[in-house]
A and B are shown apart, each in its own frame.
Chain A
Amino acid sequence: MAETTQLELVTPARVMAQKSVQMVVAPGVEGLFGVLPRHAPLLADLARGIVEVHEDGKVTDRFMIDGGLADVSSESVTILAERAIDLGTADAATLKVQAAAANEAEAAFLKAVIEAL
């Protein structure tokens, strides 16, 4: 079994994901970066974008986040995002309804999610 790093994706509302993964690709403000196990400690500001979770050489989960923070240590990646949506379970129709009711910032985020689907 290949080495893994412990991923946690947390929003103020709930813990979105918590599992051992091989690689995480996160949207830093200065560009995408990948995190493998034994990464050097890093604190990075994240932009709006997609967090990709890699397991067994494949992308298993994709989360859209609306900016946030990544706290990387040698054995864990903690992503704190104010808003996040699991692209695997999201549904464009429901999101459109939500976007219509949401305020400006949230609607812009939901629109980006719909485009990414």
Chain B
Amino acid sequence: MASLKDLKTRINSVKSTQKITAAMKMVAAAKLRRAQEAAESGRPYADRMRGLIANLAAKADPSSAPALLVGNGKSASHLLVVISADRGLCGGFNGSITRQTRAEVTRLTSEGKTVKLLMVGRKSADSLRREFGDRYIASLEGIQGTSVAFSDAADLGETIRSGFENGDFDICTMIYNKFVNAITQEVKLTQLIPAEVADAGDGEAGGNYDYEPEEDELLASLLPRIISTQIYSALLESSAAELAARMTAMDNATRNAGEMIDRLTLVFNRTRQAAITNELIEIISGAEAL
């Protein structure tokens, strides 16, 4: 049985852990408010961009439209853009991304496709490196988290676009956590190239567009921008989701630590009582013997 001193040490160490998790929770909560605002206010723009490109893709003529919009007609090689966090201690956040990625890679490989990975964020990159490290085309860190810059998303978009034009891959899909609310994140797969086509029901926009300037010229400047916008919005969502996950995880950890302290304190008090009782018995029986 643990001595009183051991128990005391144990309680103190759990208490300091609790202080740390409580502080991390507060920090995450404070940052979350800003990240959540950024993610939510960015949604209308991203949604409209997505709607627009879905419409364009639905109307585009596969033979003449740019490959970024309708694909290059092949599907032999896939690029997965995986967005996780740079830091851990955020519950199932990185785990669910890793799991989804592994399932997706396995599925595509079993269909005989080549899979390449572009990892954003350190955590999933680290946990998948041993399995799929040879498939990484790049592993980026530090572009998401508390502040997301559009220029980073634009650079990433540019990397993806030039890779596509060089024929490195035919289809590009993004895997990220979407922020739903402070306690829920949802793993989303979004296809970047070729563009996801609008549902048949959405065709009411009707008729073909007039373009100004010419169609090719306009699409050439528009499509890269749309890809960057989608990446940017995914980074914002993922950052907000990460902070929310961390806040929830740390809240749980703080509560668990509290429970543990209560339990240990109970054991500590019982042990102290037992020691006192023991001493009393010794004294009394000593006195009786006389």
Contacts and interface: CB of A to CB of B under 8 A. Distances in A.
A41 B207 CA distance: 7
What is the interface residue range for chain B against chain A? 20 to 34
Contacts of A15: 44
Interface string A1-32: 00000001011111100000000000011100
Contacts of A43: 52, 56, 209-212, 218
A49 to B, nearest CB: 14
Interface residues of A, number: 24
B285 interface: no
B206 A30 contact: no
B213 interface: yes
Mostly, the B contact residues are: helix
Nearest to B206: A41
Q: Tell me which of B45, B49, B213 has the highest count of chain A C-beta atoms within 10 A of its own C-beta.
A: B45
Contacts of B9: none
Contacts, number: 63
Given A45-B222, A69-B222, A12 B150 contact: yes
Contacts of B222: 45, 69
B221 interface: yes
Interface string A35-58: 000001111110000000000000
Interface string B206-226: 111111110000100110000
Q: Tell me which of B209, B212, B229 has the highest count of chain A C-beta atoms within 10 A of its own C-beta.
A: B212
A12 B229 contact: yes
A22 B246 CA distance: 48
Nearest to B217: A45
A30 B48 contact: no
Contacts of B49: 80
A41 B208 contact: yes
Nearest to A15: B44
B212 A10 contact: no
A42 B212 contact: yes
B206 to A, nearest CB: 7
B209 A41 contact: yes
Nearest to B205: A73
Contacts of A91: none
Contact of A41 (B42, B210, B232): B210
Q: Tell me which of A12, A73, A82 has the highest count of chain B C-beta atoms within 10 A of its own C-beta.
A: A12
B41 interface: yes
Interface string B8-26: 0000000000000000000
A43 B69 CA distance: 16
Nearest to A81: B45
Given A12-B150, A12-B232, A44-B211, 13 more contacts: A11-B45, A12-B46, A13-B42, A14-B44, A40-B210, A42-B210, A43-B56, A43-B210, A44-B212, A45-B218, A45-B222, A71-B48, A78-B52
7 contacts: A14-B44, A41-B209, A42-B210, A43-B218, A44-B211, A69-B222, A78-B52
Interface of B: 41-42, 44-46, 48-49, 52, 56, 150, 205-213, 218, 221-222, 229, 232
